[in-house]
């Protein structure tokens, strides 16, 4: 028996609490990487509001600046507390192995080796991606590769490895890797696409090894997300008309967070392990919408893909339910 199990308190093991449906994650311990803003922030707040204790990683605070305007974990903590939840901030440079190890050491030592949910969201290169999105890979700086691989894919691998070491002895857990359409369709740049494709492969391979231990691993694929960065670009007129049109049809970070929450409270989660799911697939399954009741475009729909390549005049005439032909997409297995 693992020494972790010897000291673990007797906590409820089902992901959905029958005693209090309003806090379905009561007693659960979660880690969300990259939770200072965007998807990670929204996911952390949603999990905390659902009753979990959520460890969040990223930049802790802003030195000598306005922390309400710059991504930092303190903002996430405040918003989680306002929603009645608990987030525990852990300052972390996701390119640093030592920082990543420290994050999971704290969870192990402070929570009796318990970890129920890991959501990998860490990424640091969003501004650079926009600036360098059309730069050929042979001309691009290796810094671009490092941003995509170290703060992104490598941090996902390190976090998954440490999470699995805590989940396997307990024979339960969920790992969700936030992925991207770039994993199977050319977007942004080559370095980013390669690493997102690797993310989905990691999901498949890790799920195969963890399935017998009751640990589920999934990739969650959002469409174009209205992150704080992209909305600020729009406000400062840094997006062209086609980009603004595509963003207007995108989804909010809160929509992605709803998808995560529904997945981790799904008692049949093991039926989904090893798969890639879009947020819209999850919304259709669990019957939820984005803010104001809006249903975002499916990222694999023909209309969405026409918007992504600037064909907005054509896109408006295409029904929402028409999926893009395989000639526009690499034929990965997406969805249920």
Residue 240 buriedness (CB in 10 A; 0-12 / 13-18 / 19+): exposed
Instruction: Please state the φ and ψ torsions of residue 49, each to the nearest 5 degrees.
Output: -65, -30
Which of 330, 218, 205 is closest to 271 using CA atoms? 218
Phi-psi region of 243 (alpha: psi -120 to 50; beta: other; left: phi over 0): alpha
Are 15 and 51 in contact, with CB atoms under 8 Å apart? Answer: no
Rounded to whole angstroms, how far apart are CA atoms 51 and 272? 23
Q: Quote the strand ranges of 93-168, DSSP E.
A: 117-120
Residue tagged active-site, from 192, 213, 277, 308? 192
192 catalytic residue (yes or no): yes
Q: Which of 27, 35, 31, 175 is nearest to 106 (CA)?
A: 31
User: CB atoms < 10 A from the CB of 206, how many?
Assistant: 22
Output DSSP code: residue 287: T
Active centre residues (catalytic): 192
């Amino acid at each position: 028996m693992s020494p972790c199990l010897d000291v673990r308190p007797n906590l409820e093991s089902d992901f959905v609490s029958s005693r209090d449906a309003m806090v379905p994650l009561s007693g659960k311990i979660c880690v969300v990487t990259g939770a200072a803003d965007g998807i990670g922030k929204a996911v952390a707040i949603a999990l905390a509001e659902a009753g979990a204790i959520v460890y969040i990683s990223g930049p802790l605070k802003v030195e000598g600046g306005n922390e309400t305007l710059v991504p930092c974990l303190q903002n996430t903590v405040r918003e989680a507390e306002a929603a009645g939840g608990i987030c525990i901030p852990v300052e972390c440079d996701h390119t640093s192995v030592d920082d990543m190890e420290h994050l999971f050491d704290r969870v192990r030592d402070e929570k009796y080796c318990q970890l129920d949910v890991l959501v990998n969201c860490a990424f640091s290169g969003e501004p650079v991606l926009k600036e360098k999105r059309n730069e050929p890979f042979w001309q691009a700086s290796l810094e671009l590769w490092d941003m995509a691989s170290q703060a992104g894919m490598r941090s996902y691998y390190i976090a998954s490895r440490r999470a699995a070491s805590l989940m396997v002895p307990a024979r339960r857990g969920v790992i969700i890797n936030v992925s991207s359409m770039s994993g199977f369709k050319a977007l942004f740049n080559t370095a980013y696409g390669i690493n997102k494709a690797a993310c989905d492969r990691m999901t498949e391979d890790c799920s195969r090894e963890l399935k017998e231990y009751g640990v589920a691993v999934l990739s969650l694929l959002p469409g174009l997300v209205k992150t704080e960065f992209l909305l600020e670009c729009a406000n400062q007129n840094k997006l062209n008309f086609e980009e603004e049109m595509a963003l207007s049809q995108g989804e909010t970070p809160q929509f992605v967070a709803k998808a995560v929450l529904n997945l981790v409270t799904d008692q049949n989660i093991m039926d989904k392990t090893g798969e890639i799911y879009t947020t819209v697939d999850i919304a259709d399954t669990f019957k939820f919408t984005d803010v104001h009741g809006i249903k975002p475009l499916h990222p694999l729909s023909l209309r969405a893909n026409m918007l992504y390549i600037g064909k907005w005049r054509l896109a408006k005439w295409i029904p929402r339910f028409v999926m893009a032909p395989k000639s526009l997409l690499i034929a990965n297995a997406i969805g249920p």
